[in-house]
Every structure is written in C-alpha cells, then in structure tokens.
Amino acid sequence: MKTTLVFLFALACPALAFSADLKGHWELEKSEISYTVTHPLHVVHGKSLSARGKGVCYSGHCKFLVAVLVNSFDSGDHNRDTHMWEVTRAGLYPLIQVWVKIGDTGGKTPHQVLADLEIEFNGHKAKYPRVPLGVEWKADEVHVTGTIPLTLKDFEIQPPSLLTMPIRNEVPVKLDTVWKRGGSKETKKN
C-alpha cells in the first residue's frame, strides 16, 4: 500500500509543480492561421503558416504579440489572393498585429482561457473581448487553438462582390499555434 501511495505521489509531483509555473517568456514555434470567406456561390479558405510571436507570463497573467503578413495568406487562387491584398490595402498596411491579454489564471495550467484581443488590420484597430482559447500544456510547450469572430466592418473593409453579390461580413479566423518557453540565451561574442 505504501509503495502504491509513494508511486502515485511521485507521478503527481511533476504535474503539480508545472501547474503553478506559467511564468516566463514564450515564443511562437509554429502556427497555422486560417480565414473563411463566405459568398452566396462558394466558400473560400485561406491560410498562413508564417506568423511570428512572443509573449510573457507573470503571476498568472500573460501578454502576447502575434504578427503575420497579409500577403502570406494563400487561398489556392493567386488572382483571388491579389484582389484580397488590394481590398485590405496590404501595400499600405502589410501586417496584421494581434495583442493578446490573458487575465488571472490562478497560477494553474488552464485548459481554456478567455483572452482579450486587440487586432490591427487594414490601418484600423478592433477589440475582441473574452475570446475563448483552448490550451493544451506539455512541459515547456503549449498548444493554443481558437476562433476569432472577425468582421470586415470592424476594419472598415468594404465586402468585395462577385456577380454583384458581396461576401458575408463575418470572416472567422482560426488559430492553431504552438508556443515554446524561451530559454535564457547567452549573448555570443565574436
């Protein structure tokens, strides 16, 4: 019986220790960000694998910045993508930036968080409060997924039309990201 209790305690200790340790710097290791545009005649999906990001967590609070180039999204049709760059004024505003704030997690590793997002896109900013994000923790790595309820109106983008029918205002953006805890990097002297 004692052996069983000691074994169970030994298994639980690493998880308990990790659950209280969210502090530190985080870097975006890999990402897939995709959008869905709906038109009465068809649905279009575009995605980018090129986002970059950094963040920091302290005392159960986290702040992150993620950036992705508008022209890194690919819908499978170069003409459509080029038109999207025109409509979103990617030449003037090449980056989409997302600031993420996560409130008090209670010092535990959550499975879901509510994040406050501020997005800058097409030269305009919009806030999306309390966006639910799924979180899966593995040692010094975290997998974050979720959907941002983005709308064109929030960024003053006129919905493009095909055969005089405009696309829907709602353009949900799905996130699938993996973050790694940043190590202490020593400055190399040459």
How far are the Cα atoms of 22, 23, 67, 96 from residue 56, in angstroms, in the given order? 9, 7, 16, 20
Q: Is the pTM of this model over 0.85?
A: no
Burial class (CB in 10 A: 0-12, 13-18, 19+), 90: buried
Amino acid identity, position 63: K
What value does the mean pLDDT take over residues 46-53? 97
Collapsing DSSP states into helix, strand and coil, what is residue 70? Answer: helix
Amino acid identity, position 79: N
Q: Where does the pLDDT of residue 38 fall: very low under 50, low under 70, confident under 90, or very high at 90 and above? A: very high
CATH number of 21-181: 2.40.128.110
Q: Where does the pLDDT of residue 70 fall: very low under 50, low under 70, confident under 90, or very high at 90 and above? A: very high
What value does the mean pLDDT take over residues 131-159? 92
Model pLDDT, residue 118: 98
Longest dimension (CA), the chain: 75
**Which secondary structure element, helix H or strand E, spans residue 100, and what is its range?**
strand 95-102
pLDDT digits over 84-143, tens only? 999 999 999 999 999 999 887 655 666 888 999 999 999 999 999 999 999 888 878 889
Residue 43 has pLDDT above 80, yes or no: yes
Mean pLDDT of the chain: 84
User: In the chain, what are the domain boundaries?
Assistant: 21-181
Model pLDDT, residue 21: 62
Model pLDDT, residue 109: 65
CB 64 within 8 A of CB 54: yes
